[in-house]
Amino acid sequence: MGKATIAGSYSIKGWGLKTFTPDELEQIHIATLDIMQSTGLGIVCDEALDIFKAGGCDVNKKTQVVKFPKHIVKQALSMCPSHILLAGRDPKNDFIMGGKQVGFTPFGTAVLTQDLHTGKVRDSTKEDVANMAVLCDALENVDVFTPPVSPCDRPLSSYELHGAEASFLNTTKHIDTDAETGARCRKIIDMAAVIVGGTAELKKRPIVSFGTCPVSPLQLIKECCEVIIESARFSIPINVLSMAMAGATSPVSLAGALVTHNVEVLAGIVLAQLTNPGAPVIYGSSTTTFNMKYGSATVGAPEMGMISAAASELSNFYGIPSYVGGT
């Protein structure tokens, strides 16, 4: 029997997971916009307050609360790049984020490690960061290097600078790292600029990106704002990653936690776009449930996988690259 051409065929190859219908995603989006406009967020950073005010937001400097008109949020989302280059020092290790592209990176910045020689758990060191960078550089399924541990043997005032140095020297892949303040973020940007030949070249081929976390519920503290602003100014990809905990720092229901999470991430994204329209941003999630018996975040819980899948769908809904971790 002959086979006819099929018009407009929609198929799924392999296993997939759909957490929401398009209408349900729209409902979460509407709830998010309502909270951003009516309740607002605590913004504990004078520079960010000025940027939000200049961008048309309702800013109360006395209470440090910012309310976001819906059109400002929508405009900011429309300016976000749908795909982002995470450049490696070696171009063969370049990774493009966006769409349905899936990549892998270690979960980052633990403070303990198991010693390979003694088997004992101890504080991680700068040498550990360097060794793990070498290992990840050789692993073909690791697309981006996030330092799995922190250099706890270095001063708290500069530990992430030491971590960045150890990473830059020991991998040719893109480096995703943290910075505790805007000043330290700028220092790491300067380090990367020296490697590639200046800030103009770094904008073309960003070999480093940053991650920063809002404080749940519904706050962007000074350090978080500074890192977003500094990254956006230099067109360095910035991952705004909420770590809301259902039942502790957000509503206990997964839908409620997801709305809280979405509000926090979108607020950071708006700040980046008001700082530098078109700045590369990443929709991040490590949101999970709170274990009320042990007082801890359950990073490996099934609910976290559900929230991560939902966060990825939301990022696709907005057309923004996503990063989910911990599952």
User: CB of 264 within 8 A of CB of 42?
Assistant: no
- pLDDT tens per residue, range 83-96: 999 999 999 999 99
pLDDT at 233 over 90: yes
pLDDT at 120 over 70: yes
pLDDT at 284 over 90: yes
Give whole-number Cα distances, 299 to 122, 227, 242, 288, 320, in Å. Answer: 21, 25, 13, 6, 24
pLDDT of residue 12: 58
pLDDT of residue 254: 86
pLDDT at 9 over 80: no
Question: pLDDT: is 53 or 101 the higher one?
Answer: 53
pLDDT of residue 6: 52
Q: Determine the 3-state secondary structure of 175 from DSSP.
A: strand
User: Which pLDDT band holds residue 305 (cuts at 50, 70, 90)?
Assistant: confident
pLDDT of residue 99: 86
Closest CA to 177 of 169, 189, 194, 195: 189
pLDDT of residue 100: 83
pLDDT of residue 19: 78
User: CB of 212 within 8 A of CB of 225?
Assistant: no
Question: Which letter does DSSP use for residue 317 in this model?
Answer: H
Within 8 A by CB and 6+ apart from 118, the residues are none
Question: What percent of the chain clears pLDDT 70, i.e. is strictly above it?
Answer: 94
pTM for this model (two decimals): 0.92
* All domains in the chain, ordered by first residue: 22-324 (3.20.20.480)
Please state at what angle helix 126-138 crosses helix 159-170, rounded to 10 degrees: 30
* Mean pLDDT score, 198-215: 96
> CA-to-CA distance for 207 and 172, rounded, in angstroms?
9
pLDDT of residue 114: 95
pLDDT of residue 294: 86
pLDDT at 309 over 60: yes
> CA-to-CA distance for 173 and 193, rounded, in angstroms?
16
Give whole-number Cα distances, 89 to 102, 132, 150, 161, 289, in Å. Answer: 20, 17, 22, 18, 37
pLDDT of residue 2: 45
- pLDDT tens per residue, range 20-76: 888 889 999 999 999 999 999 999 999 999 999 999 999 999 999 999 999 999 999
pLDDT at 3 over 70: no
pLDDT of residue 22: 86
Question: pLDDT: is 254 or 143 the higher one?
Answer: 143
User: Which pLDDT band holds residue 291 (cuts at 50, 70, 90)?
Assistant: confident
pLDDT of residue 296: 84
pLDDT of residue 60: 97
Question: pLDDT: is 97 or 303 the higher one?
Answer: 97
pLDDT at 326 over 80: no
Torsion angle in degrees (nearest 10) through CA of 129, 322, 247, 40: 110
pLDDT at 4 over 50: no
pLDDT of residue 1: 44
pLDDT of residue 293: 85
User: Which pLDDT band holds residue 14 (cuts at 50, 70, 90)?
Assistant: low
